[in-house]
Structure 1
């Protein structure tokens, strides 16, 4: 499995998405549920947003975490001071654990970056005990990411490459309503439930909003690095205009919706 997410550096990812992943982790944990003494697997841990949110629950006995990116694994390990946590590099479609090893397997903002997302769900089911829970959450890029859509739609309106990027961005795996639920059912999970989770992304100013993209983070950031200096400046000015919307630069807040799904291993 090759992830389709572009990893430039861990600190840039934190500014682009990691801080919002931490915010989304809290309602996701509430949705997935936890119980005293459980062993939890975080599939696609990134820099540790879900891993360390789980660690705040003292009653958990073990937290395993894997990610495909060695950059993310190294960053998460640097943060780790909890003996219950083990973080390693691994493939979500080929998890290095025996059957039934965990009570719950959770994936925060991961499945839409896995080309074989159904296989990843099957692996999560495999490593969870009978009666255990598999849960995942992905952004609704098409209809639920107002701040991100604003920057991507602006670039799409100004360039063919941006338009193609926007079309890919809006329809990644697991992002259509009911798609995760169907996949969970197809992989043999029972009592499958899908719902929406919402957080807000709050920015101090335009630089806080745009800096990780300007530095080359994420798919849009990678596209921006292909532009010449003039085109880069033109796109940046247009996105700034959209962000400011005729008002002075300063704080802005955007609502963001994610699809969450859970099921029980038979």
Structure 2
């Protein structure tokens, strides 16, 4: 089952989101919890932000990581130096592991891109032992991503296509308050808890923000990549104006909130 996330180059993803997922990973691990000697699964590992954070914590005996995109799998494998870590290409809705294999299954910035989210949660529950933990975190695109909302709101003012992009972007699955918690409960997980995690996205200048999007990375990049030259120039100028906000180009910092959820396998 394909992911709805668009990736061209792992390096482009790193500039777009990987550097921020590395900032989010420690807070997510604290929320999800860990214990020594566990077997862990990272579902949708991307370039390895969560995978490698887990490897530094609580002495896990094994970490398995999967991603749907071959570009991510290759980049994470090249970055890996830990013999406890195995990274492979696989589908979040058809995990290639037996029942009750892991102590914890975690998904960071993944579930909103999986076409059948309930099935992905069900699969995570299936591969975790009774008493183990299933946990996930996704960005709050509607009310918690100030930098990205600046971009999509600006683009939405330019065309009907931009407005449709915003409608899709801010109402992706699992992003509304309580939505992921209800999904966990519906899949039979116990003691389900939800919380908000925050990081700041700090950019050197406008190009640091815009370059991976202009290169076609992610949902915004997919939209921008389909624009004609004149439309692209107009969008670039408008987003630049919003970023600069009447001041010289340079560093800007945006607060970014994510919804985190965890539950216990009965």
SS at match of 1:234: helix
- Give the secondary structure class of the aligned counterpart of 2:8: coil
In 1, Cα distance between equivalents of 2:214 and 2:177: 31
Residues 130-173 of structure 1: CA deviation (Å, up to 9, x unaligned)? 10000000010000000001011111110111111110001111
Residues 226-262 of structure 1: CA distance to partner in whole angstroms, max 9, x if unpaired? Answer: 1121111111011000000001111000000000000
Corresponding residue for residue 200 of structure 1 = 200
In structure 1, C-alpha distance between the alignment counterparts of 2:251 and 2:260, rounded to whole Å: 28
Aligned residue for 1:53?
Answer: 53
Runs of 4+ in 1 over 3 A off after TM superposition: none
| Equivalent residue runs for 1:112-131 within 5 Å | 112-131=112-131
Gaps of 5+ in 1: none
- Written as runs of structure 1 = structure 2, the 5 A alignment for 1:10-159 is 10-57=10-57, 59-159=59-159
The 8 Å contact of residues 215 and 221 in structure 2, kept in 1 or not, is answered as yes
Task: Report whether the alignment pairs 1:190 with 2:190.
Answer: yes
Alignment RMSD (CA, Å): 0.7
Cα distance in 1 between the residues matched to 2:115 and 2:64: 23
Query: Do the aligned residues in 1 keep the contact of 2:44 with 2:107 (CA within 8 Å)?
Result: yes
- Aligned equivalent of 2:231: 231
Structure 2 SS opposite 1:158: coil
**More deviation, 50-59/25-34:** 50-59
- Show the counterpart of 1:6: 6
Post-superposition CA distance 1:177-204 (Å, at most 9, x none) = 1111111111110000001001100000
Aligned-partner Cα distance in 2 for 1:132–1:58: 16
Task: Quote the offset at 1:58 in angstroms.
Answer: 5.5
Q: Within 5 Å, give how 1:163-174 maps onto structure 2.
A: 163-174=163-174
Pairs aligned (count) = 266
Q: Secondary structure at the match of 1:239?
A: helix
- TM-score, with structure 2 as normaliser: 0.99
> Please, what TM-score do these two structures have when normalized by structure 1?
0.99
Rounded to whole Å, the distance in 1 between the matches of 2:31 and 2:244 is 35
Contact between 2:35 and 2:58, CA under 8 Å: does it hold in 1? no
Q: Distance in 2 between matches of 1:222 and 1:99?
A: 37
Encode CA deviations 1:24-74: one digit per residue, 9 max, x unaligned: 001000000000001110000011010011111251111100001111101
Alignment partners' CA distance in 2, 1:109 and 1:135? 11
